[in-house]
Structure 1
Amino acid sequence: MLKKLIIFSLLSVFAFSALNAAANAPLQVYTEEFFGADWGPGGEVKASFERAYPQCRVNYQVFDGRNTMLNRLRLEGKKTKADVVVGLDNFQFDAAEKTGLFEKTSINLTALSLPVSWTNQRFIPYEFGRFAFIYDKNKLKNPPQSLKELVERQDLRVIYQDPRTSSMGRGFVVWMNAVYPPEQIQAAWQRLAKHTVTVGKGWTETYGAFLKGEADVVFSHNTSPIYHLLKDKQDRYAAAQFSDNGLYQFDTAAKIAGKTHACADDFIGFLLSAEAQKIIIPKNVMLSSVSAPIEPHFDQLKAETLKANPTAQTLSVPTDATVKQWIEVWQTSLSR
């Protein structure tokens, strides 16, 4: 009898220790470099979150890009160590949904302040920006006024990102196909190719080439000029104002299904707090997804964005199969 009591007591201790270890395990967050790198907002967000939620600890695994991160999640499947994923955008939603790895959060969507009506409870936007082509006002006096004009203007040297490696590039393919019908898109790609300087692996590479003077315009976000204004004290850069506008990119946080980490929803919710937004937005140079004041330049641009594009419809996202087909057409067009 004594032996049974000892064994039962030991099992109870082991069970309690296991539960306690699970409760105190760090929240495993997969994220891409623009959030989790040393120069990104992730470190400050982690410190602020852990002060606000002392029972929680955060551990980042940083990937060199969001496409790389999504591919890792596909490979790991249900064995993934991630509890939360930060950095997937709306052009990846269909592919991400098909993994079956994500579940709905408890985040109150009414807290969001966006140019679209957000109904997706799985992917919670913590920042957004509108796609735009950036130019140097001192060098380009007659910027294009539409995407179609940019495609036709052979005097413009253009740089954009590869849709096979960059989510930005993927977004550009979606924008082109939103402007051009199927029977015209291949010819449009071919005309653009004639004055495209390079198609870079990612945003950092392409924007750096633009700043070196290798192109007249570069594909980016309409927020990019704010960076130069605040960091470089220069107002020479501007986003071309297109009559056909640009698509929106929403960067999101999502929770892995089947995980029971108590801090997961708290962390995602914290990203929408005024405290976190004031860290994230200036560092990532995007627009806030909530109505909290951030900084006058960002606040003004967001107000202008919402005024020009009041919430009128739910975000529409093309299927992964459709985008892959569009990318194949892009590849074929460039090889001819």
Structure 2
Amino acid sequence: MKFSKPYFAIFVACISTAQAKPKAKETIPIPAELSELVVYTYDSITASGGMSSLIEKEFKKQTGKDLKWKAGGDGEWIASQLETDFKIRKKSGADIVLGIDEPMYPRVEKYLVPLKTPLTVKERRDAIRKQNFPKLAIFDYGYFTFIADTEYRPLELFAKNWSEFFAELNGPRWILEDPRTSTPGFGFLALFSSLNPSEKTWAKLKLRTLTYAPGWSEAYAAFLKGSAPLVWSYTSSEAYHRSKGESRYRALIMNGGHPMQIEGVGIVKDSELAQKFVTILLSKEVQEKIAETQWMYPARNVTLPDSWSELREPMRLPAPRENLLRAQQIETWKSSVGK
């Protein structure tokens, strides 16, 4: 769900462990009856050029086993699918869930088992050292913002704080993601709701929103086609464009900070193979490539590539308490924008 997350692969076409490390070529013995792991995730991870191919290659190399990916349109699909599994089948079709974020975690925690190999605090990047989830290992994170087409409006003409930005009545239109089906979409709604919007501000939101796309991939694709000059995405989307030599698309950076999205991996069905998946995902070898496959900040404190050199990591806005009132926020949004 990021320009990263292979999103750019889609669009151009239209932790290590807290325990002692095993020896270099040592592999964990895997029971013969387990020939593959089933992984629930979102579609941009499995898109061409996405992170799935990177993980598959390393996983096959170290275990000799295969991964079976089942992907939905956005991160919200993962939680919904897991809930449906247990409600209807009384068990999960997945061994692993990849791409669970902070607001989603309370919904899925009861289905997950403890992890044996999370990153230690010292191994993490500074921004996430205080973030802990008992049954989730953080593998990447990013900051929500609008990406602007600066051929429509120069970057310096945009407001530098969220309140002023949303107060502009006749500003450029934007593409948002549906908060009912999209994790970035709910990230936007949580931010907007935290500003205590008046009826007039809700009216401005409705006026300036071109559409609510089902997920991040659809939203960004429409943006790149020129449907609107702004799209709700990630600050790191700019790094993707810079890697392609493009300076047209820029991230809006606000003085007060940005909402952070933290993404994690969890185990539904415990096995040595599942625990090995987590170890591989958090390894230095994989984490060094997160920035240019996911286009998100890696959880592990590894060196970022040159394409990120001009990207300033913004301040994090405190997660609003309203995140706990997801259903209430969505009902308010529906009544305010006519959904």
- Relative to the length of structure 1, the TM-score reads 0.81
Report deviation, 1:299. Answer: 5.8
The 5 Å alignment of 1:34-183 reads 34-51=44-61, 53-54=62-63, 56-77=65-86, 78-97=90-109, 100-106=110-116, 107-110=118-121, 111-116=123-128, 117-141=130-154, 142-153=157-168, 154-178=170-194, 180-181=195-196
Change (3 A) 1:60 1:323: same
Unaligned 5+ runs, structure 1 = 1-18
Pick the aligned partner of 2:265 from 253, 259, 269. Answer: 253
Change (3 A) 1:255 1:330: same
For 1:213 and 1:281, locate their aligned partners in 2 and report how far apart those are by CA, in whole Å.
26
Distance 1:186 1:321, change over 3 A: farther
Give me the CA root mean square deviation. 2.4
Partner-residue secondary structure (3-state), 1:159: strand
- CA offsets, 1:281-321, max 9 Å, x none? 212211111111241233664xx427x55xxx9x8575776
Match of 1:12 in 2: none
**Residues 282 and 300, structure 2, Cα contact 8 Å, conserved in 1:** yes
AA aligned to 2:190 is: V
Q: Are residue 226 (structure 1) and residue 239 (structure 2) matched? A: yes
Q: 2:292 maps to what in 1?
A: 282
Q: Which of the residues 257, 264, 270 maps onto 2:280?
A: 270
Asked if structure 1 preserves the Cα contact closer than 8 Å seen for 2:144 and 2:234, the reply is yes
Identity %: 24
Q: Higher helix share goes to which structure?
A: 1
Aligned length: 301
Partners in 2 of 1:194 and 1:271 — Cα distance?
42
Tell me which residue corresponds to 2:41. Answer: 31
Highest CA radius of gyration, 1 or 2?
A: 1
Q: Which runs of 5+ in 2 are unaligned?
A: 1-29
Q: Deviations over 1:181-211 (max 9, x none)?
A: 3xx3544222221222222222122222222
Q: 1:91 to 1:299 in 2, by over 3 A?
A: farther
Going from structure 1 to structure 2, the CA distance change for 1:209 and 1:57 (only over 3 Å counts) comes to closer
Name the structure 2 match of 1:211.
Answer: 224
1:177 maps to amino acid: S
Residues 178 and 215 of structure 2 are in contact (CA less than 8 Å); yes or no, is this contact kept in structure 1? Answer: yes
Q: What TM-score do you get using the length of structure 2 for normalisation? A: 0.81
Rounded Cα–Cα distance in structure 1 between residues aligned with 2:136 and 2:198: 31
Q: 2:323 and 2:162 mapped to 1: Cα distance?
A: 23
